[in-house]
Amino acid sequence: MSFTTHPSARGVARTALSLGTAATLVATLGAPASFAAPAQANSAERAKAHTTISSLSSAQQKAGFNRFVITYTDSALNAGGINWASPAGTQVATWNDALYQGLTSEVKSVDDLFKIKTNYVRTTAQKATVVTLSSKLTAEQAEKYMATLSSNPSVASVEPDLLRRSTARARGAATSKVAQVAQASNQAVAPNDTLYPQQWNLHGTKGLAAPEAWKTTQGAGVTVAVIDSGIVKHPDLDANVLPGYDFITEPSIARDGNGRDSDPTDQGNWEEAGVCGADAEASESNWHGTHVAGSIAAIMNNKRGIVGVAPSTKILPVRALGMCGGYDSDIADAMVWAAGGTVEGVPANSNPAKIINLSLGGEGTCPATYSKAIAEVNKRGAILVVAAGNDGQDTSKVAPANCGGSIVVGATDQNGKRSDFSNYGKIVDVSAPGSNIMSTVDLGTTVSTGAGYTEYDGTSMAAPQVAGVIALMKSVDPSLNAERAKQILKQSSKPLTCDVNGCGSGIVNAASALAMVQGKKDPNPQAKPWPKRAPKHPTRAARVGYVTNPAVNHNPPFLITAHGLIPGQ
């Protein structure tokens, strides 16, 4: 299932809770650092704000804006008088308040203009300030708000803190799976996982060539962080799951009664109609993070379910999406923590990941919130894998795929063609199977009721398979870095049929990639055909998100038992 940013990003149909006021912050701090006098927003600031807002989807612009992230210049961050080492929590005044206090004049100006109240929420891992407003601003008002705050010389950028979402659609009928599994199970196949014959993405002619790669390694000694909706208990995953963290700050989104905590359990992201947006339809829980994790590291040879691309790899579940999605600021903090960075108020990560999967994204220019987090992830040596998106458009219009510093993945189908929903363009590095991908989920339509399996479409399904292949590569060569990993994946990929102007270098090939890592001859050399030219007016797929839109009455997941497959209720 999907990805998290996204999109369609619909604002929460309620005002975010205030966690403090500027007056309270001033009272809790010593003398603030010196700042230049506030200035009127200039044309450059107004133009930048307009570009940011206009790049978002029409649905997001219509929904309005009531949450922003303020980032500061390097000179302001390095100024004297700020004790960056002072203790802090995530829901109280923190060590960055001195910078926020310097915006008093600008904040008062916009508050008076729009008759709102700007409330401090918290400081991010990148020393930026998250604020909420007492009521939503229109797109035009948001541009004025951002431009005015940006007029302070200590401010580098002001951007909406957007909700990113995950969506999904089950594929195929559960009853049809019974006959297919029974027939395939009588064949001499390896591994012995019951649904492995249906995992065309691993062993089919248009798949990843995983069985050949498993002769060399199954990914032991590598940790992959899955920043997503969290994870649920599942016998096909539990042995490979490490202690993670829940980075959702808003209790109403987290659905666990509090903000950030050490429990990354997916509480279910079902929605009632109209709760997450005026036009939002009711939807069921999709257990997206569990599906993504299963594609990477589901256990091999346990005579049940599926097998992951890297079945001996460990999963670090990092929860950043809940009901209505997850905020950019929470996702960015999750990225930094997953790579071993410091997030104030959050315990140190005892299992830093060297590979991070982001099956999420949404329309818009790259926010500074993501670019700063990606820079920190890269500095710490982690390899970031990002889904290209499912809007059938150029990936340059989608963040965080358009931020750089990552390996961007498109999706293909069983025929080796670009999946019709997959985004495309020169930003896409490689492609991987993304249609009809079988993996682990929960049977519950709202809360968790038990382990099951189902198929989803999406670049959200393609990205974790690439993360799994990189885990295999990293297992063989622990010194593998992001630049070399990307180069090898591109050079060793298999041909695909691309009907647009860019699907990456080809379909990722695990066996060939491992051979290149080891300096061996490619076991599956294939000449790549010239890609077809894109149509003059490519049709945008009627899909939203990094997985296809959920059907109102989709086929349910199913549970594998000794008596066969039982559809979920």
* DSSP 8-state assignment for residue 232: -
Q: Are residues 270 and 366 in the same domain?
A: yes
Q: Is the pLDDT of residue 308 over 90?
A: yes
Show which of 114, 146, 164 is a domain's final residue. Answer: 164
In this structure, are 303 and 207 located in the same domain? yes
Lowest-confidence range among 478-482, 498-502, 510-514?
A: 498-502
SS3 135: strand
Q: Is 460 a catalytic residue?
A: yes
Q: pLDDT grade, residue 552 (50/70/90)?
A: very low
Query: 2 lies in a domain?
Result: no
Considering 97, 161, 193, 228, which one is annotated as catalytic? 228
| pLDDT of 234 above 50 | yes
Domain containing 86 equals: 22-164
Alpha-carbon torsion, ordered 193, 196, 197, 202, to 10 deg: -150
Q: Any catalytic annotation for residue 391?
A: no
- Return the pLDDT at 187: 33
Same domain, 499 and 477: yes
Residue 560 sits at φ, ψ, to 5 deg, of -90, 125
Percent of the chain with pLDDT over 70: 77
The answer on 195 and 277 residing in a single domain is yes
**Residue 107 above 60 pLDDT?**
yes
Annotated catalytic residue: which of 288, 330, 394, 435? 288
pLDDT digits (tens, 9 = 90+) for 208-225: 999 999 999 999 999 999
DSSP state of 52: H
* Chosen domain end from 164, 190, 216: 164
What is the reported pLDDT for 83? 52
Lowest mean pLDDT among 129-143, 443-457, 501-515, 529-543: 529-543
Asked whether residue 88 carries a pLDDT value surpassing 90, the answer given is no
- Cβ atoms of 297 and 310 within 8 Å: the answer is yes
Averaged pLDDT score across all residues of the chain: 82
* Percent of the chain residues topping a pLDDT of 90: 69
13 domain-assigned: no
Residue 8 in any domain: the answer is no
Domain contains 466: yes
253 — phi, psi (to 5°)?
Answer: -85, -40
Which of these, 521, 519, 526, 464, lies nearest to 293 by C-alpha position? 464
Residue 146 structure tokens: 């951002």
Is the domain of 143 the same as that of 267? no
Q: Considering its fold, how many domains does the chain have in total? A: 2
* Residue 234 among the catalytic residues: no
Compute the residue count for the chain.
569
In this prediction, residue 101 has a pLDDT band, given cuts at 50, 70 and 90, of confident
pLDDT tier for residue 482 given thresholds of 50, 70 and 90: very high
pLDDT bin (cut points 50, 70, 90) of residue 96 is low
Q: Is 16 inside a domain boundary? A: no
Give the closest residue to 201 by CA, choosing from 409, 430, 434, 407: 434
Strands 245-246, 362-363: pairing kind: unpaired
Q: Are strands 245-246 and 314-319 parallel, antiparallel or unpaired?
A: parallel
Mark whether 44 and 159 lie in a shared domain. yes
In a domain, 1, yes or no: no
Contact 427, 256 (CB under 8 A): no
List 295, 406, 460, 512, catalytic entry? 460
At residue 453, the pLDDT reads: 97
For the full predicted model, state whether its pTM sits above 0.85: no
CA 69 – CA 328 distance, rounded (Å): 9
Inform me whether the pLDDT recorded for 561 exceeds 70. Answer: no
CATH of the domain at 530: 3.40.50.200
Residue-wise pLDDT tens digits, 244-273: 999 999 999 999 999 999 999 999 999 999
Return the pLDDT at 192. Answer: 95
Asked whether residue 251 falls in the same domain as residue 342, the answer is yes
**462-477 mean pLDDT:** 98
Q: Is residue 14 part of a domain?
A: no
**258 plus 178 within the same structural domain:** yes
Query: Does residue 498 sit within a domain?
Result: yes
Query: What per-residue confidence (pLDDT) applies to 538?
Result: 33
Question: Is the pLDDT score of 202 beyond 60?
Answer: yes
Q: Which of 112, 130, 164 is the last residue of a domain?
A: 164
Asked whether residue 156 falls in the same domain as residue 235, the answer is no
Same domain, 237 and 366: yes
CA distances from 154 to 26, 29, 421 (A): 18, 19, 42
Residue 16's pLDDT band (cuts 50, 70, 90): very low
Q: In one letter, which amino acid is 240?
A: N
32 and 116 fall within a common domain: yes
Residues 255 and 379 grouped into a single domain: yes
Q: Tell me, what's the pLDDT at 272?
A: 93
